[in-house]
């Protein structure tokens, strides 16, 4: 059974393609009789417009691209969730690609999406990338573009972020208010803006409460894994047994920290308090329950698509578009690990 086309409907009805097209799109200048005939036939043949042809004609595909570091990750999959949902509501589909934290892959994928002529791109940078050429290329080609979470401050595009610095500040302050005097920080990789900001927040909180900053208490993740958390916890316990608080870049790593302390029977929160970041679902399930910073991931997805839609619509109507940045609120979630 071949696909139904306007032509076929036109021929069976003995009218022109033009008229069929108009009838289907509810143009006013078609007689009711004709319209009805067309609509009925189209219905019974279950006609659907050939989207390839429509794409070519209208120059839009009602499809957007999403590039994230990795799909298997609570935070990112929640964002995906928000984006897909919101996109679907607005008649858009979402192509997802993952950079696996590799700049090279990310570049290729941006190219893929542009060649595919998606209507817009949403992206969270890999740890290796920044305001690189491939990103600038998106701007140059005027493809609607939104960054979230791991962004590049230098790129002029819409962004959805949290105030990482403030959130980190609050997390460390929370440790301090709980009585911690010597606080270590397991930070994210050197490159990503949010790792930098969280580090700055950490520093600022120490400063504020007159705790001397000691760069030896800062441990830098390379891959941001559970295993790294375990390893750093071990290292911290050895190198600085008097550390009584740890602020960890993200929950997954923090859970690694807890796992190590469990293994060697270092009591959390008695001997050392731990706070993570991003409120991973699992954090409330482990023992002890992990205190953390709640990050509205689903909402980030929704807002990201919203901003993209704004830009796509503005461009369609040839209106100017000024990028906007939306900053979402975070909140400390105090649980057992900082009791």
- Given the DSSP bridges, would you call strands 158-162 and 183-187 parallel, antiparallel or unpaired? unpaired
In the range 58-87, which residues lie near its own copies by CB under 8 A?
59, 61, 63, 70-74, 77-78, 80-81, 84-85
Label residues 85-104 b or e (16+ Cβ within 10 Å = b). ebbeeeebebbbbbbebbbe
> Residue 222, interface with DNA (CB under 7 A)?
no
> Residue 63, interface with DNA (CB under 7 A)?
no
Task: Spell out the alpha helix ranges (H) of the chain.
Answer: 6-13, 17-24, 32-44, 51-58, 74-89, 103-116, 133-140, 164-177, 193-208, 226-239, 251-263, 297-316
What's the min distance (Å) between Cβ of 258 and its own copies? 8
* DSSP code per residue over 235-277: HHHHH-TT--EEEESSHHHHHHHHHHHHHTT--TTTT-EEE-S
Size of interface with DNA, in residues (CB under 7 A): 30
Q: Given the structure tokens 């022109």, which residue do they identify?
A: 16
> Residue 89, interface with its own copies (CB under 8 A)?
no
What's the min distance (Å) between Cβ of 35 and DNA? 7
- Is residue 316 within 8 A of residue 327, CB to CB? The reply is no
CA distances to 130, 296, 310, 312, 337 from 280, rounded to whole Å, are 26, 11, 30, 32, 14
**x/- map, 97-136, its own copies, by CB under 8 A:** xx----------x--x-xxxx-------------------
Residue 187, helix vs strand vs coil: strand
Q: Which residues pair with 184 in a beta bridge?
A: 246
Token pair of 160, please?
């959805």
In the range 215-254, which residues lie near its own copies by CB under 8 A?
226
Q: Give 170 or 225: the residue with its C-beta nearer to its own copies.
A: 225
Cα–Cα dist 187/199, whole Å:
7
> Which of these, 333, 317, 325, lies nearest to 282 by C-alpha position?
333
What's the min distance (Å) between Cβ of 63 and DNA? 16
- Is residue 230 within 8 A of residue 202, CB to CB? The reply is no
What's the min distance (Å) between Cβ of 285 and DNA? 50
**x/- map, 69-108, DNA, by CB under 7 A:** ----------------------------------------
Q: Give 31 or 58: the residue with its C-beta nearer to its own copies.
A: 58
What's the min distance (Å) between Cβ of 204 and its own copies? 31
Q: Give 32 or 317: the residue with its C-beta nearer to DNA.
A: 32
Size of interface with its own copies, in residues (CB under 8 A): 47
| H or E segment to which residue 186 belongs | strand 183-187
**x/- map, 159-198, DNA, by CB under 7 A:** ----------------------------------------
Binding site for its own copies (CB under 8 A): 1, 48-53, 55-56, 59, 61, 63, 70-74, 77-78, 80-81, 84-85, 88, 93-98, 109, 112, 114-117, 140-141, 226, 255, 259, 262, 281-282, 285-287
Point out which residues bind DNA (CB under 7 A): 3, 5-7, 15-19, 21-22, 24-25, 28-34, 47, 49-50, 52-54, 56-59
């Amino acid at each position: 059974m071949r696909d139904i086309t306007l032509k076929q409907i036109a021929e069976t009805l003995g009218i022109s393609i033009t008229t069929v097209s108009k009838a289907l799109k509810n143009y006013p200048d078609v007689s009711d009789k004709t319209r009805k005939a067309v609509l009925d036939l189209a219905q019974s043949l279950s006609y659907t417009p050939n989207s390839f042809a429509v794409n070519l004609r209208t120059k839009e595909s009602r499809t957007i691209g999403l590039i994230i570091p990795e799909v298997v990750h609570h935070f990112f999959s929640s964002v995906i969730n928000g984006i897909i949902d919101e996109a679907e509501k607005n008649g858009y589909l979402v192509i997802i690609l993952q950079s696996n934290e590799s700049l090279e892959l990310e570049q290729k994928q941006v190219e893929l999406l542009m060649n595919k002529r998606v209507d817009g791109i949403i992206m969270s940078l890999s740890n290796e990338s920044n305001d690189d050429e491939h990103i600038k290329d998106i701007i140059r080609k005027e493809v609607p573009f939104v960054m979230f979470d791991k962004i590049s401050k230098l790129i002029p595009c819409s962004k959805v972020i949290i105030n990482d610095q403030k959130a980190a500040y609050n997390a460390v302050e929370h440790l301090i208010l709980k009585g911690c005097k010597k606080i270590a920080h397991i930070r994210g990789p050197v490159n990503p803006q949010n790792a930098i900001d969280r580090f700055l927040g950490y520093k600022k909180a120490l400063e504020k409460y007159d705790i001397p900053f000691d760069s030896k208490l800062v441990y830098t993740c390379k891959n941001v894994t559970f295993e790294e958390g375990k390893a750093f916890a071990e290292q911290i316990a050895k190198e600085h047994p008097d550390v009584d608080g740890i602020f960890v870049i993200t929950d997954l790593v923090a859970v690694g920290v807890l796992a190590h302390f469990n293994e060697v029977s270092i009591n959390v929160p008695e001997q050392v308090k731990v706070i993570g970041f991003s409120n991973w679902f699992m954090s409330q399930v482990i023992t002890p329950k992990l205190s953390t910073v709640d990050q509205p991931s689903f909402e980030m997805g929704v807002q990201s698509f919203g901003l993209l839609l704004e830009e796509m619509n503005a461009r369609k109507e040839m209106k100017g578009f000024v990028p906007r940045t939306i900053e979402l609120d975070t909140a400390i979630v105090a649980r057992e690990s900082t009791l």
